[in-house]
Amino acid sequence: MKRKFLYLLYIKVLFPFLLSAQINTDQVLSIGVNALYFEDYVLSIQYFNQVISAKPYLAEPYFYRGVAKLNLDDYQGAEADCTKSIDRNPFVVNVYQVRGLSRIRQKNYEGAISDYQKALTIDPENVSLWHNLILCRIHELDFNQANADIDTLIHISPRYTDAYLMRMEVAMKQQDTLRAMSDADKAIEIDRYNADTWAARGMLFLQREKYADAESDLTEAIRLSVRNSGMYINRALARYHQNNLRGAMKDYDIALDIDKNNLIGHYNRGLLRAQVGDDNRAIEDFDFVLQFEPDNMMATFNRGLLRDRTGDYKGAVEDYTTVLDEYPNFLAGYQYRAQARRKIGDLKGADDDEFRLLQAQLDAQNGKNQQQQTASADKTRKESDKDVNNFRKIVVADNEDDNSRYKTNYRGRVQDKNLAILPQPMFALNYYERENEVRNSVNYAKVIDDLNREKVLPHRLLITNNEASLTEEQVKEHFASIDVESEKIIREPDNALHYYARALDYYLVQDFDNALSDLDSVIVRDSTFYPAYFSRSVIRYKQLEFLKRDVEYNVDSSKEEFRVRTMDYVAIRKDLDEVIRLAPDFVYAYYNRGNILVAMKDYHAALVDYNKAIEMDPHFADAYYNRGLTNIFLGNNRQGIQDLSKAGELGIYSAYSIIKRFTTTEDNNLPK
């Protein structure tokens, strides 16, 4: 009974917005948008549900919930929510943009075109809308209208490289290679540091069978975008056509290091390994393909040949039989199976296969129809080509979009890739972090280790700058934990750790205001507990970052504008100063303060903090990365590249693309 009373008291005092009759929809909507911005999509939907339940006539919560569903791949749900938002307010461009993207993902291109056309009547110079509209036109094979729209887009934005790349695509589909090459050249002329422009022209050279030129362009694309597996696979194809098998195999190795599940990469690498006699590892590649595609007869037959060569005759016979059951007129299969059967002593089976071959030869001499086909002279085959006679050919993707990123790069405020070069993020105290297959470091601090050993918090506390979004179960758990910690606070109102535990729960459910209130309470009760200052600085920073970029999610960007001045960072810096005063060996405070100083454009002071962080931890990859960027901000490219190289060496591979951009440019400033 007492627990029930405390729970009701907690709900009424601490969560008045959860009561439908008294819900503060502005506050709940704000928390939901905050969660959406920080990619906590499941959590954000719960907040938007509350607003919709209280005020179903509002357009905004339906739109935001649609954005969350889109990012969770619930395209039907996203479309339905955007439709409800449009019913309530039909004059918001972003809603049509998101519904258009949802329809594209459902292959409803006509519906998407209708959305973009409507949105363009509201905002006729919106480049993202034109971009997506043109891609839909291309998909619908409406090339004349696509070209007309591209001309309009170029008139609006003459230096928009994707416009030229899309016109190149239209020209290729219309078999006008000269016009396609002209547009590819123009795109590179406009932006030499865009990997997509070089990749697009490289693919154009591949289609024109100019393999050396294709390799050159794809090499430049890789130089600018080192972690793109597709570019390595395409360059491998160009090298293969030039009989550079070792070079092609090296490209497949790198591509599969980036994307280990790329089946085309495994299949083609298996073929090349077989050609150079690396039979056992070739079998491993075909095993991998067959794990995901057990009905891939070409991979099965190639594995049979390799098993045959490595002495596994029984396994070879099994693979040959699988293929022949599917393709009973594949004569080469009978020939190889007969040889393998003799090697394992199955003389009757071998005789049956040889008789089948003899019968086929007699039928051919007598002019009887045979379904048996022979392989074409081409060195490659499409992925959809199921002619088993082409089992030795390198595979290329059926979908041309797989060969060039820009063709499927639909644009939108919510979905746009961020082309800015940004520092590595702030470190935070959290229970969850994303897995990182490349970097497997453990961040340590004694006070955090002590908290974990004493088990004063419900979960093990981590120091991370790679925070994970919560699952639905975790969201429920932390809402329940808020209830538990609230009861503890009532019983022990002077225990700072109970407030800190609840602050972490509020932080995880993106309720920053209540989290900050609890952290203030921690500091009042224990002014020496520096994790509270550290967490407070991170939350304040996230609030400012959200306010600065809120236009990305705002339904009506003119509705509310925020000015974030240098003075807004002062409180964050003071918290980090206090952390350093209380714990001068806490390296992450120096790193975070360096990030704040960069945001304040005090680059020289930021360098001092990054220097200190690296002095304390010579393997601090993020500090090297950010110090490198800071030096580049200051025009010190040589020092910056040296630090970025060290960061790449320590596992931040994105550093290499920045190095390669600034190694060749004479401009000492970061691109805007």
Residue 182 within any structural domain of the chain: no
Residue 577 within any structural domain of the chain: yes
Give percent helix, percent strand, percent coil of the chain, each to the nearest 5. Answer: 70, 0, 30
pLDDT in tens, 66-104: 999 998 888 898 999 999 999 999 999 999 999 999 999
Q: Which amino acid is at 523?
A: I
pLDDT in tens, 291-313: 999 999 999 999 999 999 999 99
pLDDT(551) > 80: no
509: left (phi over 0), alpha (psi -120 to 50) or beta: alpha
Query: Which CB contacts under 8 angstroms, 24+ apart, belong to 470-479?
Result: 470/40, 470/42, 470/43, 470/432, 470/508, 470/509, 471/42, 472/42, 474/432, 474/508, 475/42, 475/43, 475/46, 475/509, 478/505, 478/508, 478/509, 479/505, 479/509
Classify residue 177 by burial, with Cβ atoms within 10 Å: 0-12, 13-18, 19+: middle
Q: How many domains does the structure of the chain reveal?
A: 1
Q: Are 367 and 166 in contact (CB under 8 A)?
A: no
Average pLDDT over residues 615-643: 92
**The tokens of 342 are what?**
């003799």
| Count of Cβ atoms closer than 10 Å to residue 52 Cβ | 20
Helices (H) and strands (E) in the chain, counts: 32, 4
Half-sphere exposure of 650 (CA within 13 A, CB side): 17
pLDDT in tens, 587-613: 999 999 999 999 888 999 999 999 999
Q: Are 270 and 302 in contact (CB under 8 A)?
A: yes
What is the rounded CA–CA span in Å between residue 621 and residue 614?
Answer: 9
pLDDT(341) > 60: yes
Residue 226 within any structural domain of the chain: no
Lowest average pLDDT, out of 99-113, 435-449, 515-529, 580-594, goes to: 435-449
Give the pLDDT band of residue 663 (cuts 50, 70, 90).
Answer: low
Q: How much of the chain, in percent, has pLDDT values that exceed 70?
A: 84
**The tokens of 295 are what?**
């009905």
Give the pLDDT band of residue 668 (cuts 50, 70, 90).
Answer: very low
What is the rounded CA–CA span in Å between residue 259 and residue 228?
Answer: 9
Residue 244, CA distances (Å) to 4, 233, 359 in order:
74, 14, 41
What is the rounded CA–CA span in Å between residue 501 and residue 519?
Answer: 9
pLDDT in tens, 458-470: 999 999 999 988 8
Q: Are 452 and 484 in contact (CB under 8 A)?
A: no
For 491-525, give the DSSP string.
H-TT-HHHHHHHHHHHHHTT-HHHHHHHHHHHHHH
What is the rounded CA–CA span in Å between residue 166 and residue 450?
Answer: 57
Residue 46 within any structural domain of the chain: no
| Number of residues written out for the chain | 672
Q: Are 258 and 229 in contact (CB under 8 A)?
A: yes
For 45-73, give the DSSP string.
HHHHHHHHHH-TT-SHHHHHHHHHHHHTT
Q: Residue 579 is part of a domain; what is its CATH number?
A: 1.25.40.10
| Mean of per-residue pLDDT scores for the chain | 84
Residue identified by tokens 């899309």 is 166
**The tokens of 222 are what?**
């890789």
What is the rounded CA–CA span in Å between residue 82 and residue 12?
Answer: 33
Mutual angle of helices 93-105 and 127-139, in 10-degree steps: 30
pLDDT value, residue 399: 54
Give the pLDDT band of residue 550 (cuts 50, 70, 90).
Answer: low
Question: Which residues make beta-bridge pairs with 479?
Answer: none
Half-sphere exposure of 265 (CA within 13 A, CB side): 22
pLDDT in tens, 112-124: 999 999 999 999 9
Residue 51 within any structural domain of the chain: no
Mutual angle of helices 587-599 and 530-549, in 10-degree steps: 30
Residue identified by tokens 């003075």 is 567
**The tokens of 378 are what?**
């081409």
pLDDT value, residue 410: 57
What is the rounded CA–CA span in Å between residue 644 and residue 403?
Answer: 29
pLDDT value, residue 413: 36
Mutual angle of helices 229-241 and 245-258, in 10-degree steps: 170
3-class SS of residue 652? coil
Q: Which domain holds residue 658?
A: 428-469+528-664
455: left (phi over 0), alpha (psi -120 to 50) or beta: left
pLDDT value, residue 380: 73
pLDDT value, residue 361: 81
Looking at residue 371, the DSSP 8-state letter turns out to be -
| Count of Cβ atoms closer than 10 Å to residue 409 Cβ | 18
Residue 627 within any structural domain of the chain: yes
Residue 139 within any structural domain of the chain: no
3-class SS of residue 468? coil
What is the rounded CA–CA span in Å between residue 213 and residue 349?
Answer: 51
3-class SS of residue 387? coil
What is the rounded CA–CA span in Å between residue 481 and residue 499?
Answer: 12
CA 118 to chain centre: 30
pLDDT value, residue 363: 75
Residue 461 within any structural domain of the chain: yes
